[in-house]
Chains A and B, each alone.
Chain A
Amino acid sequence: MSSEASAVRGAEAGDDPIISVRDLHKWYSGVHALQGIDLDIQRGESLGLIGDNGAGKSTLINILSGVYPPSSGTIVFDGRPVRIRSPKEATRLGIETIYQYNSVVPSMSIARNLFISREPLRWSIGGFGLIDTKRMHAEATRALSDVGLHLRSPDAVVSELSGGQRQGVAIARAMHFKSKVLILDEPTNHLSVKETNKVISFVRGLKSQGVTGIFISHNIQHVMQSCDRVVAMARGKIVADCRVADVTMDELVSHL
């Protein structure tokens, strides 16, 4: 399956896709939101996904992160055909998604946020157990410093952090759990310039850790600053797919 998949787009660079999507369709109550998407995402690449509202970016991402099933089509992940039935299954495969607003729970501490649904346990019965707070605290401290996020204490409540720091916490979580693919949904929305630069540098840092990044944004400039390759979508189809080095912003805009 994987050899067949890579044969289709064998001419392209990299040629070691971590995700291969073929002929993906999605209908929502009469709307044809994805109309036959073919896409290979190479291992370690950072891919920008741009397009207007309703272009199908979110639908594609929601399918990859297990929120909705596709209506038809195949997904090959890390060489194996997969059906991603739930967000939990996506994270188990190594696909972590950071949503625009919902990446963290503001009323909880940083440490607890990092380990939601993956708490280190002292003991457990049938999946329920006592949290190993000491280990959680120590691992949280390390996870934060690994992404260069220097915060007072992992016990601080997330509602006290700035928007950029919250994205940082979500990214630290993905890195800590050794995600293979990190999907960022509009991570720079509503952030100040300084914070935006921080997030962009996080995204650039993914590459050095061998993580594949998918960066969804309608800000083409941010995508071009942080990605190797950019895919543009419009009306449920891919309308452009090029390396950032080979394209100008105006050319990209003309596709949308």
Chain B
Amino acid sequence: MKALFKRSLQNTEIPGLVLLVVLVVLFSVFSNGIFVSTENLRGILGLLPEIGIVAIGVAILMIAGEFDLSVGSTFGLVPMVMVVFMSHGWGFAPAFGVAMLIGIGIGLVNAFVTLRLGIPSFITTLGMLFMMRSLTVVISGGFPPQIPSDVPRWLFTDYFGPGNFLRASFVWLVIIAICASLMLSRSNFGNWIKASGGQVAAAAALGVPVMRVKTICFAGCALLAGFAGVIQSLRLNSVMSSTGDGMELQAVAASVIGGVSLVGGIGTVFSAIIGALLIRVIDNGLVLTRTDPNWFKFAVGALIVFAVVANSWLQRLGKSVRVAG
């Protein structure tokens, strides 16, 4: 019993979950129940996959001990590449494929510069944030090309299910979350990710191919960011040169709020999704409760600080609980 208490105190997902419940209750009360209406939940869950998928990649990379601040720009560049190719007469599938490869390429560049040239990933990806954003503007030619009407939206953004409650993108989120979660918590590769982020020297000395592990995480993170960007572009039916602006900080915020450690080694896929959901809930709840939406960033900021303080406090408290035996 005491061991269970200790373990739940130290579970980094708890503060995020508690906050989620509290906010849902608060917003429901102050919006006279509109917040939990089917129509509103449909709206929240329809937008969640975009930030959720980005946050999964960012969280896994953070657990591996590295940062990616360029995900927002990748989120814009990848769909822009796709649309530009399509405006030159390419079909959806090849344009999508090439755009995804470019996403992976961005991740590989991040990995190469960070790992081979020995630069903090914070700096590498900050540089890439600007460079990829600039490229997005350049290849768009100044004004955004149209997305043709024959793209397979049913595969990405169309509603389905009873009452058309969910978007197809939600299925992608679920599939990616389950695969990523199994990979991180149950596979040997997940063990290497945690070891690389937790104590890189020990991981290397024990034979973990640290460079390869981190490279795969960088590439996966950029790929997911690009994929989420494609989803948003199809939902909005356009790519703008500003698509994904600020997404990097929301994704880092989602991970941190969910309990992913900034120094690496600690965190889960589930926690990143809770963090992402919290951000969507706040965004939506503020509007529904007729709060000035300019408070959105304030609320997210307060949440970040609160979540991290609560987490470190609970860790200490958990440590002080002595379990017999």
**A residues apposed to B, CB below 8 Å:** 65, 67, 86-88, 91, 97, 99, 101-108, 112, 115-119, 121, 124, 127-131, 133, 152-153, 157, 160
Say how far B266's CB is from chain A's closest CB, in angstroms.
Answer: 5
- Bitwise, B160-192 to A at CB < 8 A (1) or not (0) is 000000000000000000000010001111011
In the complex, A17 Cα to B297 Cα: how many Å?
Answer: 67
Q: Contact check, A108 vs B194: say whether CB atoms are below 8 A apart.
A: yes
Residues of B within 8 A of A133 (CB): 186
**Chain A neighbourhood of B319, CB < 8 A:** 160
Q: Do B204 and A121 touch across chains, with their CB atoms under 8 A apart?
A: no
Q: How far is the CA of A115 from the CA of B265 in the complex (A)?
A: 16
* Contact yes or no, B202 A102, CB < 8 A: yes
With a CB–CB cut-off of 8 A, which chain B residues contact A131?
186-188, 191
**7 A-B interface contacts by CB (under 8 A):** A87-B205, A97-B205, A102-B201, A103-B202, A105-B198, A105-B265, A119-B188
- Contact status A119-B191, CB under 8 Å: yes
| Cβ–Cβ < 8 Å partners of A112 in chain B | 191, 194
On whether A105 and B203 interact (CB within 8 A), knowing A117-B192, A152-B325, A160-B319, the answer reads yes
Q: What's the Cα separation between A88 and B204 when bound, in Å?
A: 9
In angstroms, Cα B200 to Cα A101, docked, is 11
Given A106-B199, A116-B195, the answer on whether A65 and B205 have CB atoms closer than 8 Å is: yes
Residues in A with CB closer than 8 Å to B206 are 87, 91, 116-117
- B265: chain A residues within 8 A (beta carbon): 105-108
Per the 8 Å Cβ criterion, residues 233-247 of B in contact with A are none
* A-binding residues in B (CB < 8 A): 3, 10, 182, 186-189, 191-192, 194-195, 197-199, 201-208, 261, 265-266, 319, 323, 325
Minimum Cβ distance to chain A for residue B198 (Å)? 4
Bound CA span A166–B43, Å: 50
- Nearest Cβ distance between residue B196 and chain A, in whole angstroms? 9
Instruction: Classify the secondary structure of A's interface with B.
Output: loop
CA distance A127 to B307 in the complex (A): 37
Selected contact of A116 from candidates B197, B208, B325, CB within 8 Å: B208
In the assembled complex, the Cα of A107 lies from the Cα of B199 at a distance in Å of 8
B194: nearest chain-A partner, CB-CB: A108
CB of A39, distance to nearest CB on chain B (Å): 22
Q: A108 contacts B207, CB within 8 Å?
A: no
Complex interface: chain A residues within 8 A of B188 (CB): 117, 119, 121, 124, 127-129, 131
Further contacts, 9 of them, CB under 8 A, given A102-B205, A129-B188: A86-B207, A105-B199, A106-B198, A107-B265, A108-B265, A117-B192, A121-B188, A127-B188, A131-B187
Do A116 and B187 touch (CB < 8 A)? no
B266 and A116 within 8 A (CB): no
**Partner pick for B198 among A99, A101, A107, CB 8 A cutoff:** A107
Closest to A91 in B: B207
A108 touches B195 (CB 8 A): yes
How far, in angstroms, from A67 to B206 measured CA to CA in the complex? 11
Query: Please, how many angstroms separate the alpha-carbon atoms of A139 and B17 in the complex?
Result: 34
Contacts of A102 in B (CB 8 A): 199, 201-202, 205
Minimum CB–CB distance from A104 to chain B (whole Å) comes to 6
| Docked-complex contact A130 and B186, CB < 8 angstroms | yes
Q: Judge whether B186 and A116 touch: CB under 8 Å.
A: no
B9 to chain A, nearest CB (A): 12
**For residue B205, which residues in chain A have a CB less than 8 angstroms away from its CB?**
65, 67, 87, 97, 99, 102-103
Q: How distant is B263 from chain A, measured CB to nearest CB, in Å?
A: 9
Please measure, in the bound complex, the distance between the C-alpha atom of A108 and the C-alpha atom of B184, giving whole angstroms: 13
Residue B189 contacts which of A103, A128, A157 (CB distance < 8 angstroms)?
A128
Cα separation A236 to B197 with both chains bound (whole Å)? 34
Cβ distance B108 to chain A, nearest Cβ, rounded Å:
19
> Nearest chain-B residue to A112 (Cβ)?
B191
**Cα distance A127–B197 when bound, in Å?**
20
Residues of A within 8 Å of B182, CB to CB, are: 130
User: Which residues of the partner chain B approach A65 to less than 8 Å between Cβ atoms?
Assistant: 205
Task: Report B-chain residues with C-beta under 8 Å of the C-beta of A115.
Answer: 191
Partner of A117, one of B3, B10, B208, B266: B208
Cβ distance B44 to chain A, nearest Cβ, rounded Å: 33
Q: Are B207 and A129 in contact (CB under 8 A)?
A: no
Contacts of B204 in A (CB 8 A): 87
CB closest residue in chain A, given B202 = A102
Q: How far is the CA of A250 from the CA of B319 in the complex (A)?
A: 44
Minimal beta-carbon separation of A84 from chain B (angstroms): 12
Return the 3 tightest CB-CB contacts between A and B, nearest first: A88-B207, A107-B265, A102-B201
A249 CB, nearest partner CB in chain B, Å: 31
Q: Tell me the smallest distance from the CB of B63 to a CB of chain A, in Å.
A: 9
In the bound complex, how far is the Cα of B313 from the Cα of A135, in angstroms? Answer: 34
How many angstroms between the C-alpha atoms of A105 and B186 in the bound complex?
Answer: 17
Which chain A residues border B201 with CB–CB below 8 Å? Answer: 99, 101-102
Q: Which residues of B contact A87 (CB under 8 A)?
A: 204-207
Given contacts A101-B201, A152-B323, A152-B325, contact A107 B187 (CB under 8 A): no
Closest to A156 in B: B323
B198 touches A128 (CB 8 A): no
Tell me if A107 and B191 are in contact (CB < 8 A).
no
A115 to chain B: closest residue by CB: B191
Shortest B308–chain A CB gap in Å is: 16
| Complex alpha-carbon distance, A117 and B261, angstroms | 22
Whole-angstrom distance between the Cβ of A123 and the nearest chain B Cβ: 11
Give, as a whole number of angstroms, the nearest-CB distance from B204 to chain A.
Answer: 7
